[in-house]
Structure 1
Amino acid sequence: MVETVTLYRAPTTPADADALAAWLRGRVDAEVRVRDRLLGTRSDDDLPEELAAARVTDPSERATGNTMLGIVRYEERVLDDPERAGGVVYDGRAVQRALNARLPGEQGLDHLHLPLLDRVIGTWGGHDGRWHKRVAVLGQPALVSVPGLYEAPAKPEAYYEAKSKHALMTGDAPPREVLEAELDGDFLVADDPRTTEALRGYVIAAVDLLESGTAFCDDERCRLHDAHRQPGVIRAQLRDPPFCETHAERYG
């Protein structure tokens, strides 16, 4: 039984941890708290090297990490100044282990830690031998990647069709902003005003895993569904009904 949920802010993103906590309080029988950025408050001298070791350096290579001095120094800088972070994918399980070790006395499953991250995280796909970006890596702590919300789910087919058409006509890849303007509303983009609402399902799914032992929901209409395409994210997180029948009884 989850007795306490602690969300951690990601101040460089539009995700509102306080609003998510307020929404969660009305749906779970647990105390819901909010703390400042976990990567900032639980950092130590070893964390930069552990993050460097968790870097995905090749999308088709299982091995991760580049712990050269310059990379470790970069990780030190972005821990202090998260505005500098970007362009890197991290092994979500490795980051999860690193952060779990920095929750002294609070690793028990009765206290779920739920950091909103300003980093992109991924998991290795054994079925196709590639790394895949993820919105969430559930467990303890449950990692929710804000940039992953925009980058992990595949965009609608129209996006890729417009991208190919533009490249054929000009010989260059179109600016991302051009494509986003052409297909406004069909998918989530960086700093999207719908970010906080769209993260609700991933947050409550993290609680549900510890409560029920089940990760995510198979019903594509449910907030707890882990959609792999942007139209699916829009349908699950921003359209009615908010929950399937089973999860509506639990959280509706």
Structure 2
Amino acid sequence: MESVTLYRAPTTVADADAIADWLDVRVDAEVSVRDRFLSLHGNSDLAEPFAEARVLSPYDRETGNTMLGIVRYEERALESPERAGGVIYDGLAVQRALHERIPESERSLDHLHVPLLDRVVGTWGDHDGRWHKRVHVLGQPAVVSVPGLYEAPAKPEQYYKEQQKHALLSGGAPPREVLENEVEGEFLVEDDPRTTDALKGYVLQAYHYLDTGEAFCDEETCRLHNPHRQPGVVAAQLREPEFCPEHAEQYRP
């Protein structure tokens, strides 16, 4: 690997420059930061691929709604990203669309591109026939979803019990802040001040995968671990030690 380029997500609290600084002293590659990928390389013709990548139902493998109103919505979301939200996209389809927009001279696997996105992405699970939200989709480019950090790993079980209880009593879901105050346990929430620190490990996972061909680490306290629950994210990304002994040798600053 010769170089890594991160792309900012200005509508989120994720600090791409801080992530790049952290990565730069741990990997043998030149690390740089650019502005939002969808602003640099996106234009109106990207709206239709996003519309085609929309997940229509949690249990329907088919995606896409290219009706004029939906495409217009995606055009507005590209121009004003703060207006986007509430949609899950097929992460592999988004990855393909973004790959086509990387300058041809930079598509080599020696140059990893990591767009931080303000969109929620998912992948289809053949094992259970449903879509699963993801924090990232590895490959070229490596798509890292900032809202996915909050939404993809499951929160403590009590969070969902309280959510259901409020729904039964009031007929609707309570404000997010209410549940966060009532549920004990460690989990990240929207605009969490720990977002940048947590994403460092996910960006390193993207580098590690493309550089070595290896996926994730089995050690639960290693930054290269990919837990499915929020307490595991906190343990892997926000607690000492940063790495298991093997990966500490590889990525010690």
TM-score interval (norm. to shorter): over 0.9
Distance 1:249 1:99 in 2: 33
Q: Counterpart of 1:21 in 2: which secondary structure? A: helix
Could you tell me whether the CA contact under 8 Å between 2:90 and 2:123 is conserved in 1?
yes
Q: CA deviation at 1:198?
A: 0.5
For residues 159-198 of structure 1, the aligned pairs below 5 Å read: 159-183=159-183, 186-198=186-198
Deviates more, 1:56-65 or 1:173-182: 173-182
Q: CA deviation at 1:171?
A: 4.5
Q: How many residues align?
A: 251
Could you tell me whether the CA contact under 8 Å between 2:54 and 2:89 is conserved in 1?
yes
Q: Counterpart of 2:148 in 1: which secondary structure? A: helix
Deviates more, 1:20-29 or 1:165-174: 165-174
1:52 alignment partner AA: A
1:159 alignment partner AA: Y
For residues 210-249 of structure 1, the aligned pairs below 5 Å read: 210-249=210-249
Q: Which residue of 2 aligns with 1:88?
A: 87
Q: Does 1:33 align with 2:17?
A: no
Q: CA deviation at 1:240?
A: 1.0
Q: Which residue of 2 aligns with 1:119?
A: 119
Q: Which residue of 2 aligns with 1:141?
A: 141
Sequence identity (%): 70
Deviates more, 1:29-38 or 1:217-226: 217-226
Q: CA deviation at 1:170?
A: 4.0
Q: Counterpart of 2:250 in 1: which secondary structure? A: helix
Could you tell me whether the CA contact under 8 Å between 2:156 and 2:185 is conserved in 1?
no
Q: Counterpart of 1:128 in 2: which secondary structure? A: coil
Structure 2 vs 1, CA of residues 165 and 212 (structure 1 numbering), >3 Å: closer, same or farther? Answer: same
Q: CA deviation at 1:46?
A: 2.0
Q: CA deviation at 1:168?
A: 4.3
Q: Which residue of 2 aligns with 1:109?
A: 109
Q: Which residue of 2 aligns with 1:62?
A: 61
Distance 2:154 2:90 in 1: 19
Could you tell me whether the CA contact under 8 Å between 2:6 and 2:116 is conserved in 1?
yes
Structure 2 vs 1, CA of residues 19 and 185 (structure 1 numbering), >3 Å: closer, same or farther? Answer: farther
Structure 2 vs 1, CA of residues 66 and 158 (structure 1 numbering), >3 Å: closer, same or farther? Answer: same
Q: Which residue of 2 aligns with 1:42?
A: 41
**1:77-109 Cα shifts (integer Å, max 9, x gaps):** 111110101000000000000010111221110
Could you tell me whether the CA contact under 8 Å between 2:6 and 2:115 is conserved in 1?
yes
**1:173-222 Cα shifts (integer Å, max 9, x gaps):** 32221001223662100000000001011000000001110112111111
Structure 2 vs 1, CA of residues 46 and 176 (structure 1 numbering), >3 Å: closer, same or farther? Answer: same
2:245 alignment partner AA: E
Distance 2:224 2:176 in 1: 29
Q: Counterpart of 1:210 in 2: which secondary structure? A: helix
1:206 alignment partner AA: A
**1:213-236 Cα shifts (integer Å, max 9, x gaps):** 011211111111111110110111
